[in-house]
Amino acid sequence: MEGFLATIRSPWITHCVQEVRYQYWDPEPHRHESPTPGDISARRGATVEDDGDDHRALVRDMLHRALCRLHELPALRSLSIRFGDIAPQAGELDSIRDDLASILDALIFLGGSVSIPSLPLPLNHQHHRHNSYPHLHSFQLKSLSLARLPPIHLRQYDHPAFGALLADLEHLEIHSAGTDAWTDLVTDPLPPGLISPCEPFFSHTLPRRILTAPNVMTTTTIPRGMAIATTQNLVHLEALSLSFSDPIGVFYITYSFADLYFPRLRALRLQHVQFSGACDAERFITRHSAMLLELHLAHCQIAVPQNSAGQQAVDAAGVIAAAAAAAAAAAVAATGTGHGGGEELVMPDEDGFDDWPVVPRPWSDVYLEFANKLDRLVFLDVQDPWWMSFPDRYVAYSPRDVMQFLEEGREEDVRALEIFRRTVKERAERSGMEYKPALRIPDEDEFICDCH
């Protein structure tokens, strides 16, 4: 960190820095290692907890000061911060929350320098991280990545300067940490109806403070009443990576893509998103068909409600009756009578509905619609779920029961996906140019959340 601060102070280097990345140390690979005699000797006279907390507070303060000086790098366009652990231990949650709050404070400070380069300097223009904003030049961040982000709401997200920092982004990556681990965070009593401190992040922070639609205006008030800047949110966004560490959308933690639209979006990655009968995630994708060139679907599922046994029988009977009616109608159309088709009527197997809820829109329908509507797509990456506890393309849920997992995906899904892939590949070949993906394909262990 000291080296980075020295870099900022160097007049020969600052104008060359275009990207800054910071990664917290990941404790997971070392969690079960025994300390060496040297480690024990170095810690003599202080508890491990005290020593660790002091060091963490020091790093937190140094990182805050470094981030608050990023506006001094005139060529900087990209900032990436990755927190250390997808599924932290319960005893680490408070410290990580403090880390996040400190980083958000710094981002708020940087947000004050967005789109206001002509404002006069305040009378006391010495650097202070809370009481003044930088005015050396307009800070224009174009790419922001927040990986393993704790899925909790903090008041800093509501500050208008945070929205101002996001307003002109062209590339945004949000990868949330595991909700199972962060559910153990001790907070003030939750509002009625909520069961996890993570829920406000997905109901408020993400849709209203981070992924705010471009037609929503953000007003930024500079402290001491100096000026007010009004900006549109994410109107220039071209690449969006929205990755969850466990399935989000329908069951347990809900999230809706309804009404989200970014007019310049060319590349999109969705990870661990639950598709449903509401079709909001599906429509979010097809809504961008006019511009979308690149699509990543990583470990997504279709979530359907688990019906009662009686309702299952009714649904099964309804599907069988509908199949019989369709076959009879086809026979009439072919021969002009109700008897002349000459082919045996194939009925669905009633036993097949014993464990399968009715799936109103399977993956085969989704893939074929994507193949038909995404007529500019030239890059496609689809990955199935890999967790042992989440092995399937479909999942059933009940308000009172734990998740129940369905059997392996249907063969028609596999065929539809192959049609989708072939359609995109042939279109890319016809274009005659090699497309370079705007979004990286991460390693599998980078986004795995092993909470079990």
| 157: containing domain | 2-26+50-185+197-304+437-447
Nearest Cα residue to 136 out of 144, 127, 145: 127
**In 121-130, which positions are buried (b, 16+ CB within 10 angstroms) versus exposed (e)?**
eeeeeeeeee
Share of the chain above pLDDT 90, in %: 32
| Residue at 425 is within a domain | no
Q: What does the pLDDT read at residue 441?
A: 75
**Lowest mean pLDDT segment, chosen from 219-228, 268-277, 351-360, 443-452:** 219-228
Q: How large is the average pLDDT for residues 87-115?
A: 88
- Are the C-beta atoms of 291 and 266 separated by less than 8 Å? yes
For the segment 271-326, what is each residue's pLDDT rounded down to a tens digit?
999 998 889 999 999 999 999 999 999 989 888 887 644 344 444 444 444 444 44
For the segment 32-71, what is each residue's pLDDT rounded down to a tens digit?
444 444 443 333 333 333 455 778 888 889 889 889 888 8
Integer Cα distance of 395 and 406 in angstroms: 6
| Residue at 128 is within a domain | yes
Residue 335 pLDDT > 70:
no
Rounded alpha-carbon distances, angstroms, from residue 376 to 184, 425, 428:
44, 11, 9
Residue 236 pLDDT > 50:
yes
Structural domains in the chain (count): 1
Residue 234 pLDDT > 50:
yes
| Residue at 299 is within a domain | yes
Q: What does the pLDDT read at residue 388?
A: 44
Higher pLDDT, 290 or 16: 290
| Residue at 236 is within a domain | yes
- Are the C-beta atoms of 165 and 142 separated by less than 8 Å? no
Q: How large is the average pLDDT for residues 240-244?
A: 95
Q: What does the pLDDT read at residue 180?
A: 87
| Residue at 405 is within a domain | no
Residue type, 168: D
Q: How large is the average pLDDT for residues 416-425?
A: 96
| Residue at 166 is within a domain | yes
Instruction: Name the pLDDT band for 367 (thresholds 50, 70, 90).
Output: very high
| Residue at 319 is within a domain | no
Integer Cα distance of 263 and 291 in angstroms: 8
| Residue at 348 is within a domain | no
Residue 201 pLDDT > 50:
yes
Residue 221 pLDDT > 70:
no
